[in-house]
Amino acid sequence: MASLKDVAKLAGVAVGTVSRYLNEPDRLRESTRRKIEPAIRALGYSPNSVARSLRRGKTGLVMVTCSVIGDPFFGDVIRAIDHAAQRHGFAVLVKEVPPVRWSAGMVSDIILSRAVDGVIVLGSRSPFELEAGAVEDSRYPPVVVGTETVSKAMQRLPAVQIDNVAAAMELTEFVVGLGHWRIAFMTGEPGSHVMDEREVGFRNVLATHGIPIPGDFFTYGNFTIDGAREATRVLMSLPKPPTAIVCANDEMAIGAMAALKAMGLMVPDDVSIVGFDDIRYAEVMNPPLTTVAQPRDEIGERCFQRLLSAMDNLAAETGVQIVPHKLIVRGSAAAPR
């Protein structure tokens, strides 16, 4: 098994420099980090997390919560978090949040016992039933919010996300620009902050263009393929169905496309479909899905770096860091007939 000395020798630096890279990489020059990183990969070096944790008086564990572990979008973000954590000698515990929020008692065994050094919350549900000031309680480890602001109580915490309102506006402007005016919006479920933000962006654009939104053009797809199938069947049974459906995530867009195919309708010839998140399956759909891409690797990396600063008691900034989104135009949307 490779040692710290082996890494230092291969990288051509001192042992203390490698140690600083593992503990405080921001203190090193970029040129020095570029020498050490390939040496670690080439030797397969893994720091002794147990020994480091004992020296630090910490567990060496961080917890990541998400609504569905198998979600392809969250899976990519978690992978980036895990890679960043490994570089700093931390292990990642992933916890799926059930549809019903955890109570404070359910969380306390992990959080108040300090079984983890920090928490990254992903997804549309917070696992913490906390009062407004609880997130600043010294009993709780640092918390960082990834991909969205999950509750009013947690808005003061460090967070990393795209501008969901702006992204939804850009996506909806694209659909309107194709000539659609009978446009439905498929959201996830009530109470999701990120879905609310995307709905605001959708409504802003239609209001700007004077396009009406019938009440039955607004539907819930439950974040899932099956939920979107049912919602799409209801939409297409209307006397005047939509010519385009803006889906607030890609899984619902995929479900909508499957439902239309089952009804003998063509995408985009009969109905245009657009999604959100650019999950790995979006580009291999038939037709490929037009969607908004989020920088998953960057979100995961930034989440961990913000958590690391908080865990080290550095003067880390609070509030939201906005990362860029990108509209990805593929073949699932076209001008209406």
What's the pLDDT score for residue 104?
A: 44
- Distance CA(191)–CA(151), nearest Å, equals 10
112 pLDDT exceeds 70? no
The more confident residue out of 281 and 148 is 281
Mean pLDDT to the nearest integer, 141-160: 77
Instruction: Tell me the average pLDDT of the chain.
Output: 84
| pLDDT interval class at 105 (50, 70, 90) | very low
pLDDT digits 0-9 by tens, 176-186: 999 999 999 99
My answer on whether 150 and 261 are in the same domain is: no
Q: Is the domain of 289 the same as that of 303?
A: no
pLDDT at 55 over 50: no
Quick one: pLDDT at residue 194? Answer: 86
Q: What's the mean pLDDT in 53-62? A: 66
pLDDT at 122: 86
Residue 175 domain-assigned (yes or no):
yes
Range of the domain at 194: 164-293
Question: Do 268 and 304 share a domain, yes or no?
Answer: no
Q: Is residue 268 located within the same domain as residue 302? A: no
Instruction: Report the predicted TM-score, pTM, of the whole model to 2 decimal places.
Output: 0.77
Residue 254 falls inside a structural domain: yes
The dihedral sign for the CA sequence 121, 123, 128, 133 = positive
Q: Please state the domain count of the chain.
A: 3
pLDDT of residue 131: 47
According to the model, what pLDDT value does residue 16 have? Answer: 85
Residues 177 and 145 in one domain: no
Q: What is the pLDDT of residues 72-86, one digit of tens each?
A: 889 999 999 999 998
Whether residues 90 and 15 fall in one domain: no
Query: Residue 337 falls within a domain, yes or no?
Result: no
317 with 228, same domain: the answer is: no
Q: What is the model's pLDDT at position 179?
A: 97
Do 238 and 310 fall into the same domain? Answer: no
Q: Answer yes or no: do 142 and 254 share one domain.
A: no
CA angle, 252 then 94 then 296, to 5°: 50
Mean pLDDT across 287-300? 96
Is 333 part of any domain?
no
Q: How far is CA 38 from CA 3, 10, 44, in A?
A: 15, 9, 10
Look at residues 323, 320, 321, 299 and name the one whose alpha carbon lies nearest to residue 122. 299
Of the candidates 305, 337, 304, 306, the residue with the CA atom closest to the CA atom of residue 319: 306
What average pLDDT does this structure show over 210-234? 94
R_g over Cα of the chain? 23
Give the mean model confidence (pLDDT) for residues 255-262: 98
